[in-house]
């Protein structure tokens, strides 16, 4: 069925991570109307899930939440969370999309307007009635792994994804719901709606900015590091949760038994710079976040041995080399070695087998907790959804990587942040401002031409 519900904006931002939020704010502040379409139930992307951020060691939540809130309350920005982008392309349908460029939708005229088909996925909660009191969550009797906490603790079948999620709306996981009706009974505003259906709508816009970010390579695909089956071998985003004040245990403990770890190791380039995993490139931020996490660990567990197994340290940004030197001065041990495999050791330990890069041979070491700095891969594959090109690394192609890295091969479509390749927050913010500027330039140029 073709949806009839059409909403018109100047810019469509796909992805509500820090790149999408910054782009939306930079455009919204200039008076452009912006739609942010986010696939998750909350905006904030990876940054809201981090503990602290290098190189300043600011609390991630403290600097991301105000941006999330600014976007949510901005008069020129509309948020569409928990939505699926089904298609995004130039619109040459000839329909009146209500935009200010006369003629762009007329048949035969080169299309410059964009049209996106979106599905609002059901939360099974009425967003107008819900007051975010979480009574539904408290009474729900079924526990499921809380993926917002790396699966290390549980949440309920109906829950608000995390404490500072925006919007503060719960969603129901119907795969695990037993329809007991307790949430409905507890809801003071009758907001539970077991019959909610997906709703499709169209967004038309003059420009779009793709800010779909990255995911980590799944540990379960990595045979030599145990396919996620070895206890106490976790990925770096799980470690961010262990370090976060609102993490699963509110402190750093070993997931297998709650022991405070005494020996912690980081395995760098786990999956990155490795053709066999399909990630032959460097993921760029792993050296810095491993150093950051190691520093935070040495603060919370001052007696623990912390080791980083690395191939090269890439401290590429302003103040990053100093950050690395500070970590060494704090007693964090850096071993230049390639970890060949990890096996289950004794008493919950993980045994790391590594080859020293100075040629002195192979060694093994046992650690209470091992963190894999997995490679970064694109979170979104445009595939049949959008005709924008991908590079050989599968991130969105930037057609002018030197002079304007935010330009894609689709007119009026720009890219920012980790959607174009692995990068840190500083570069993501800079690129987002650049994408907003290019989009504004594109729109004002068109207005003058017409």
Partner 1 sequence: MKTINTDKDRDRDKEAKKAAMKELRGVRKNLIAAASATMKLQRKELAAIKAFLKAEAATIPQIAAAIDMPTDKTLWYMATLKKYGQIIEAQKEGAFFKYALNEADNPPKKAEA
Ligand X SMILES: Cc1cc2nc3c(=O)[nH]c(=O)nc-3n(C[C@H](O)[C@H](O)[C@H](O)COP(=O)(O)OP(=O)(O)OC[C@H]3O[C@@H](n4cnc5c(N)ncnc54)[C@H](O)[C@@H]3O)c2cc1C
Q: Which residues bind partner 1 (CB under 8 A)?
A: 138, 141-143, 145-146, 149, 152-155, 157, 174-179, 181, 194-195, 231, 248-251, 253, 255-260, 262
Question: How many binding residues for ligand X (CB under 6 A)?
Answer: 39
Chain centroid, CA 208 distance in Å: 19
- Does position 310 bind ligand X by CB under 6 A? no
With binding defined as CB under 6 A, does residue 114 bind ligand X? no
Smallest gap, in angstroms, from Cβ of residue 165 to partner 1?
Answer: 15
Query: Greatest CA span in the chain, whole angstroms?
Result: 73
Nearer to partner 1 (CB atom), residue 157 or residue 335: 157
Nearer to ligand X, 110 or 318 (CB): 318
At closest approach, how far in Å is the CB of 151 from partner 1?
9
Query: Interface with ligand X includes 423 (CB under 6 A)?
Result: yes
Helix axes 60-73, 18-28, angle to 10 degrees: 40
422 near 279, Cβ under 8 Å?
Answer: no
**Angle formed at CA 76 by CA 70 and CA 78, multiple of 5 degrees:** 75
Q: d(Cα 323, Cα 55) in Å, to the nearest integer?
A: 7
- Binding-site partner at residue 195 among partner 1, ligand X, none, CB < 5 to 8 Å by type: partner 1
**Tokens linked to 361:** 């041979």
d(CA 23, CA 200): 25
Our finding on whether 396 is near ligand X (CB under 6 A) is no
Tell me if 53 contacts ligand X by CB under 6 A.
yes
Distance separating alpha carbons of residues 168 and 44, to the nearest angstrom: 13
Written as six digits, the tokens of 190 are: 């009758």
In the bound state with partner 1, the residue whose beta carbon lies nearer, of 141 and 319, is: 141
Closest C-alpha among 117, 269, 209 to residue 428: 209
Residues 6+ positions from 366 with CB-CB distance below 8 Å? 263, 345, 346, 349, 350, 351, 352
Q: x/- binding map, residues 157-196, to ligand X, per CB under 6 A?
A: ----------------------------------------
Q: What is the distance of C-alpha 101 from the center of its chain?
A: 34
213 or 255: CB nearest ligand X: 213
Q: Which stretch binds ligand X (CB under 6 A): 49-57, 91-99, 294-302, 359-367?
A: 49-57
Shortest distance, position 176 Cβ to partner 1, whole Å? 5
- Shortest approach of ligand X to residue 161 CB, angstroms? 11
- Contact by Cβ (8 Å): 228, 216: no
Cβ 27 vs Cβ 11: under 8 Å: yes
Closest to ligand X by CB, 365 vs 425, is 425
- Regarding 237 and contact with ligand X (CB under 6 A), the answer is yes
Q: Helix H segments across 74-176?
A: 135-139
Nearer to partner 1, 6 or 153 (CB): 153
Between CA 341 and CA 226 the distance in angstroms is 8
- Residue 379 in the binding site for ligand X (CB under 6 A): yes
Q: Give me the residues that bind ligand X (CB under 6 A), please.
A: 14-20, 37-40, 45-47, 50, 53-54, 85, 211-214, 216, 236-237, 240, 285, 289, 292, 379-380, 417-419, 423-426, 428
């Amino acid at each position: 069925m073709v949806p009839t519900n059409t909403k018109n904006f100047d810019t469509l931002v796909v992805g509500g991570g820090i790149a999408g939020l910054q782009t939306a704010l930079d455009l919204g502040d200039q008076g452009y109307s912006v739609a942010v379409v986010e696939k998750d139930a909350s905006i904030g992307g990876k940054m809201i899930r981090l503990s602290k951020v290098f190189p300043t060691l600011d609390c991630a939540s403290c600097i991301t939440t105000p941006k999330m809130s600014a976007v949510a309350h901005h008069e020129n920005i509309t948020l569409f969370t928990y939505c699926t982008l089904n298609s995004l392309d130039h619109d040459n349908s000839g329909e009146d999309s209500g935009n200010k460029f006369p003629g762009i939708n007329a048949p035969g005229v080169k299309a410059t307007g964009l049209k996106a088909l979106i599905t609002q996925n059901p939360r099974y909660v009425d967003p107008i009635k819900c007051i975010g009191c979480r009574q539904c969550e408290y009474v729900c009797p079924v526990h499921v792994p809380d993926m917002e906490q790396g699966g290390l603790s549980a949440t309920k079948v109906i829950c608000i994804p995390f404490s500072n999620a925006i919007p503060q709306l719960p969603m129901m996981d119907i795969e695990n719901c037993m329809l007991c009706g307790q949430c409905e009974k507890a809801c003071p505003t009758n907001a539970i709606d077991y019959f909610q259906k997906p709703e499709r709508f169209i967004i038309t816009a003059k420009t779009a900015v793709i800010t779909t970010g990255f995911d980590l390579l799944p540990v379960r695909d990595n045979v030599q590091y145990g396919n996620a089956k070895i206890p106490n071998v976790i990925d770096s985003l799980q470690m961010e949760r262990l370090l976060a004040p609102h993490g699963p245990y509110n402190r750093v403990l070993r997931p297998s038994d709650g022991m405070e770890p005494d020996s912690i190791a980081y395995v760098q380039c786990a999956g990155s710079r490795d053709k066999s995993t399909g990630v032959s490139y460097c993921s760029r931020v792993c050296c810095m976040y491993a150093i950051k996490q190691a520093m935070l660990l040495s603060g919370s567990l001052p007696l623990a041995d912390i080791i980083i197994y690395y191939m090269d340290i890439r401290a590429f940004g302003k103040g990053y080399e100093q950050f690395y030197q500070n970590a060494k001065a704090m007693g964090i041990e850096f071993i230049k070695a390639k970890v060949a495999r990890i096996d289950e050791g004794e008493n919950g330990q993980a045994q790391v087998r590594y080859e020293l890069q100075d040629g002195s041979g192979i060694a093994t070491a046992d650690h209470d907790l091992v963190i894999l700095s997995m490679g970064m891969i694109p979170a979104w594959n445009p595939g049949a959804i959008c005709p924008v090109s991908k590079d050989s690394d599968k991130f969105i192609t930037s057609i002018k990587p030197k002079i304007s890295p935010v330009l894609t091969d689709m007119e009026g479509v720009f890219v920012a942040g980790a959607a174009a390749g692995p990068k840190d927050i500083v570069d993501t913010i800079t690129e987002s401002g650049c994408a907003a500027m290019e989009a504004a330039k594109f729109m004002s140029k068109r207005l003058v031409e017409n």
